[in-house]
Structure 1
Amino acid sequence: MRKLNFILTFVIAVGLLATSCSKKMEPLDSSLFTANPSPLELVGSKVPVTVNGRYPAKWFDKKAEVVVTPVLKYQGTETLGSPHSYQGEKVSGNAITIYQAEGGAFTVNSNFDYVPAMKKSELFLRFSVSRKGNHLIDFDVKVADGIVSTAALADAKTVTPALAPDAFQRIIKEAHDADIMFLIQRAELRSSELNSGDVKAWKELVQEVYNDDRKNLNVEVSAYASPDGGYSLNDKLAAQREKNTSNYLKKELKKSKVDTDVNAKYTAQDWEGFQKLVQASNLQDKELVLRVLSMYNDPARREREIKNISSVYSELAETILPRLRRSRLIANVEIIGKTDEELVAATNSSAINELSVEELLYAATLNGVSKEKVYSLVTQKYANDYRGWNNLGDVYFAKGDYSKASQAYAKASSISSRAAEPKMNQALLAMIDGDNAKAEQLLGSASGANTLNEALGVLYIKKGDYTKAVQAFGDTKSNNAALAQILSKNYNKAQQTLNGITAKDATTNYLSAIVAARTNNTSGVASSLKSAIDKGASKTEILNDLEFARFLSNPDVKNMLGL
C-alpha cells in the first residue's frame, strides 16, 4: 500500500511539473520576431531569410531545450529550414545557452530552395520544447508573409539560341597570275615565255571570266628587276619590261575581244620578293643574307654586303635572282553570287539541291524560306558540318520541342567539340531543366557564340548576381535585360529597356507593372496589368504576386481582376 501511494505521488508530481513547465514556456507572441526581408524575396533560385527574435525574461526554463526551425508553409505543404538549438542554463550541452532571469536575443538564418508554389506562402518559426528528454510542447509562430518571386521571371526559353554563322559572300574575290620571265639585263619578250602553258592558261581564264555575266574582271601587270646591278639600271630595265608586257597584253586582249583596262606598275629592285625566296630556300647561309636585309635599308649597301658573302652569292645568282626578273600577269576576278531573290526561289524548287552549303545556310536566314527544310537538307548533304545540326536545333528550340533540340545540339557538338554555338544552346536547355551548374560549365566553353551575353545574363539572374547580369545584357532590349535592371533597382533604365522592345508580350507589360508598383505609380500599375491580361497574363498570378498586394484595393485594379 505504501509502495502504491509512493508511485501515485510520483506520477502526480511529474504531471504537475510538466504542466507547470508547459504553462511557463507557453507559445511566444509574433511581436517578438522580425524577419529580414519581409516579405521574403527570391534571390536567384534561393529564398534567404534572417529572423531576429528574443526569448522574454523568465520564459526559458533552466532545464529546458528548445529547437527552433524556420518553416515555409504553402498550398497545404511545408518546407523546413535549418534548425537552431538553445538550452537552459542548467543543461549540459553544446547549444546556445539562454539564461532564465534575463532571457536572450537570438538569430535564425535559413535558405529555402524555391519552387513556384511558394509564391503564396507564410513563414513560421516552429518551437519544439523538451525538458530532461521529455517532449513538452510544439508551437508555430508566424513571422512573415509570402515571397516576392520577381526573379523567377528570368526565362532561358526566351533567349535567342546561338546561330552557327554562314560564310556566304555576295562577291568572292580571286586573283589568278602567271609569270613572264626575262634574261638578265634584258627586257625583250621571248616566244618561249609567251607560249608557256601558264601564260596560255591565264589568257584562257581571262577570256572565260570576261564572258561570264556573273564575274567581273580587272587586269594588272607588275614588272620587276632583281636587286643586283644598281638602282638606276634596274629602274630603266623594270620600266621597259612593264611597257613591253603591257603592250603585248593589250594586243592579246583586243584580239580576244576582251574589253578591260590594263593597270601597270613596276618595281626597280624587288627586295621584298628576294627576301621571300631566300626565306623559303635551302641556302646554307641564308640566315647571313637575311641578317644583312634586316640590318641595312640602303639598297646599294645591301647589295655590297651580300656580294661580300662569297660562299653564298654564286648560289643566289643561280637560284634566286633569275626568278625575280619577271613580269607578273594578274587577273583580279569578282564572282557575283546569287541575289536574295534567287536564293529564295531556289529553296522553293528543285534547284535547292544545287546550292552550296554556304548558300543554304545564308538562304535559311531570309524571309520566305523554310528554315527547317533548309537545315534538314544541310544535315543530309553536309552531315559532317556542325552548323546544319546546330541551326536545326534552333528551329526546334523556337518551337518549344526541347527534346529534338537537345538531340540536334548534341550531334553538332559531337561533330565539332570546340564549336561555341552548340555549347551555348545546350546551356540554355540546362537552365530550362534547372541545372544551373551544368549551364555555367557549358557557357564557359561558348566564347564567341553570337547571343552568349544574353545567356550569361539569364544565368547570372538565376545565380542572384544581378550586377553581373546587367553588365552581361549591356544594351540588349529584352524582358530578361529589363528584369535584371529591376532586380538591381534601376527602374528608369528598366522602363527604357521595356519601351525599346519591339515585340512586346504579356511579360513585357507585366514587368512594366512591377516598375510602376515599385515607383508608386498606381495608374501605371493598372494600365500595364490590363495590357498584360489582354495578352494572356494570369489574373491568379497577379493576385498572388506580392509586388501588387498594396494596389489590390485600387478600384481600377479591383475591377480589372474581378474582385
Structure 2
Amino acid sequence: MKKILIYSVLCLIAALPVSAQKFYKDAINITNASLWQQGESLYINMQMDMRNLKVSNDRTLTLTPVLTGPDNNVVLPEIVINGRRRQKAYLRAMALDKATTMEIPYKTQEVLNYTQVIPYEPWMENAYLNLEENLCGCGGHQEVLAQEMIMNGVSTETKRLAALQPVPSYIQPKAEVVKARSEQYEAHLNFPVGKSVILPDFMSNQTELRNIREMFNKVQNDKKLTITGVYIEGFASPEGPLKLNEQLSKSRAEALKKYLSVHEQIPANLYNVSFGGENWEGLVKALEASNMKEKTEFLNIIRNTSDIARRKEEIKRVDGGAPYRTMLKELYPALRKVNCRIDYTIANFKVDEGKEIIKTQPQYLSLNEMYLVANSYPKGGDDFIKVFDIAVRMYPDDEVANLNAAAVALSKKDLPDARKYLDKSNKQTAEYANNNGIYYLLSGNKDQAIVEFTKAARNGNEAARYNLEEIEKVIKK
C-alpha cells in the first residue's frame, strides 16, 4: 500500500497532553483522535507525538491505522519510521527509483497530524480504529507485530443531530386587565299548560332549581369573585301559535328572574332578561343527534321553509303525522328551557398567590398569571412543565396556550403531543416556526427543520438562531 510518509526519529520538545493515549511500548502518544462522518465522507484525524520513540539504526517501524467493523475493514495509509542507517539506504533507493510510489520524507516535526478522508459506508457507523505496529529490519531481526485500539465509535451526522438539545420558544400571553368569566346552566323547567309561574314541586323543577342555586352559591360565596351580571333567556318549543310561544318564552324567563330575586341576594340592576321565542335551533340540533329515519326530511323543511306557519304544517304532515307526534314526545320537551348565565370577574393574583391557587383552583388564573408562575420555577423543571400542562387544559383552544404546551412537549421529545398542540397554535408566529423546526429535527427531517429555523430567525427569534448554529456545528466539518 502507499506509504504516506517516512519519519526519522528525532528529539522533540513539546509537552504531552494529559489525555494522550500511549502506543508502541508507551513511546508514541496519540491525541485528538476522531472519526467524523460528514455527508458521503469519513474524516479520520489524530495527532501522533513520537518524542520518546527510538528505532534502532537498521530497523523500520511501520504504523498502519485500520478502520475495522464486524465484517469489514479499511487499511489506511501507513506511517514508516526508519532508523538512521535504514533511512539513508531508503533515500538512496528513492533517488535511484524515480517511479517509486513512496513520498519523500517530510520535514521533521514534533507532532504528526494524521488526516485521511475516505468514502463513508453504513457499516462504519459502529467501526473502531486500530493501530497495527510492525517492526522489522536487516541483520537477522525478526518481524514484530502488535495491534492496539485507538478509538471506537464513529461520530455520524445522525448521532450528532440526535444528541442536540434544541431550544423551544415560549410566548408570554397578554395580561388581562379585567379577568371576566361566566358560569352557565341550561334549565329545563316545567310549567303547567299555558302557565308561566314556577312551581318548585312540579315535575322535575326541584332538581333544576337546586342546580341553578348551587351555581349561584358557588359564585357568591367565593371572595375572589365579583358578580357583574345575571342573564336569563327563555325559549319555547315550536308547536302552537308563534305569538303565544314568544310570550311564553318571555314570561317564563321573567318567572325565573322573580324566583331568583327572592332566593338570591343579587341587586336587581344586575338582572338582564331576554327571550329566544321558538327554539328552532335546538330542534335542528336534536334532530341531527337523533335516530329518526325522517330526520333528513324534517331538516330540509326547517331549512328551506321561511314561513313559520307553513313550516309547522309541513312538519305535521310528514308520513301522516306519526313522526311529528314522536317528536312532540321525545324532542320537544327539552326545547322548553331557560338559560341562566352569571357573569363575574376574578381578582388578579401575584406570583406567590398564583403558585398556591394553581394547585386547587387553576381556572381562576389567567394565562399570563400562569406564565409568570411557570417562569418563577427553573426553566424546564418539573414544576415549570406542570404549569404549562395545566394552562392548556384550562384553555384548550387558546393559540398561545397550545404553542407553549407544544414547547413543553418538544422538551420532553413527546412528538405526538407536540404535533397536536402545534396544529392548534398560531402558525404565523416566529415561535411557531422555531418549535415546528424542532418537531422536524426530532422527527429526523433535518432539511425541513433548517427551513423552519431560518424562517423564525429571519423574524428575530433568538432560539431559532441558536438552533441553526447548533445544526451547523453538526453538519459542517
> So what's the TM-score if we normalise by structure 1?
0.41
Query: Larger helix proportion, structure 1 or 2?
Result: 1
> So what's the TM-score if we normalise by structure 2?
0.47
